[in-house]
Amino acid sequence: MNKIMKIFTIWFVFAMIISCKNFAADKDIKQNAEGKIKGFLDKILDPVKDKIASNGPKVDELVKKLQEEEKELMQGDDPDNGVINPPPVLPASDHDNTPVPAVKVAEQNGGQQKEQAKESEAKVEEEKVEDKKEKQDSEKGKVEEKKEEQNKEEQKKKQEEAKAKEAKEKEAKEKQKRQQAESERRAREEKQRQEQEEVERKAEEEREREEAERKAKDKIKDLVDKIAKINGDIDDIKGEKSVGATKVKNKVTGPVYDDFVDGENSIRKTWGNGDLEEDEEDSELGKVLKELSDSRDKLRNKLNVGNQAYDGYTEPPLKENVNVNDIKDDLEKVKSGLEKVKSYLEDNSKFEEIKGYIEESNDDYE
């Protein structure tokens, strides 16, 4: 029905104009009618004109829409199946019919005109509301757009912060990795250094061990050779009937004293820092050397005048000659004692023990 009323209003305006032109009998009536109609139309259309001035594109769209609706109604497409008759065609001649004044027509349709005016005003208000709503929607859109832009900025900021954090964490990991690599490198170098030192230490120990073995073997050989020399001289003396006491001293008792039993550089006094003399009861070599020392002392006393023993202060004078038979048993005991020393020195199982004695010696055997 709203469409019908809109179209009716348009046709009504057109009919009023045509009626005024066809039925105005004189100039005063025509001018009076035109003035009233113009005032009436201005009253109705002024708000519309104002609206059109402010909402040109929307009004154009509305007019176009009304024209289309008018066309549909004229073709019988109105939803209520109503038929709008075109405005009556008034006779052009004043002599055909009695003219109907335009003012009277306007008065007859006053109620409808007022209603149409109210509807037009309501339409204007509706347009204002729609404009306000559109403005609000536009403002809302701007707010949302601004909010979206802020969200984008915040998201961008968060992404940049995340990237910065990731870069910082990556740098920290790289730094930790470098520190770990440096630590591992230093550890490897330290390990290599320690291994090298260990190799050098072992090489030094090996060298010292070999040197100690060489010294021990050289000393053992030297003592064995001296024993062989002494025992050879003993055999020579035993083949004689009489021998000079000095010869026996120089060939037998003297070397045994100096190198084996009681001399300052004897093995009994020097090996193990003299422990062989003190531990003669607990050491196999100590016992052998003690027996050799006793046998040597008995032989040495028989070389003195009157077989006198040495008292530690004054050495008794030697005999000029000695009967070999008188000293033969003593010579055999000394030789036997030397053989026991020789057997000990040549026992491979005693080598480490002998080497230990030599290493602890206060003598230089080189």
Where do the structural domains in the chain lie, given as residue ranges? Answer: 2-108, 217-359
Question: Is residue 336 over pLDDT 70?
Answer: yes
> What is residue 249's predicted lDDT score, i.e. its pLDDT?
96
Size (the chain), residues = 366
pLDDT digits (tens, 9 = 90+) for 96-116: 444 445 545 455 556 676 777
Confidence at residue 95, expressed as pLDDT on a 0 to 100 scale: 44
CA distances (Å), 70 to each of 1, 9, 21, in order? 12, 11, 25
List the single range of 98-107, 125-134, 259-268 with lowest mean pLDDT: 98-107
Interatomic CA distance for residues 16 and 34, integer angstroms: 9
Higher pLDDT, 63 or 11: 11
Higher pLDDT, 62 or 114: 114
Single-letter residue type at 296: R
Task: Give CA–CA dist 17/11, Å, rounded.
Answer: 10
289 touches 276 (CB < 8 A): yes
Distance CA 69, CA 10 (A): 12
CA angle (138 as vertex; 134, 140 as ends), nearest 5: 115
Residue type, 341: V
Q: Convert the pLDDT of each residue in 162-201 to its tens digit.
A: 989 989 899 999 999 999 999 999 999 999 999 999 999 9
Total-model pTM: 0.50
CB atoms within 10 A of CB 171: 10
Predicted pLDDT at 83: 45
- What is the DSSP code string of 25-85? -SHHHHHHHHHHHHHHHHHHHHHHHHHHHHSHHHHHHHHHHHHHHHHHHHTT--TT---PP
Tracing tokens 């105005």 back to the chain, one arrives at 24
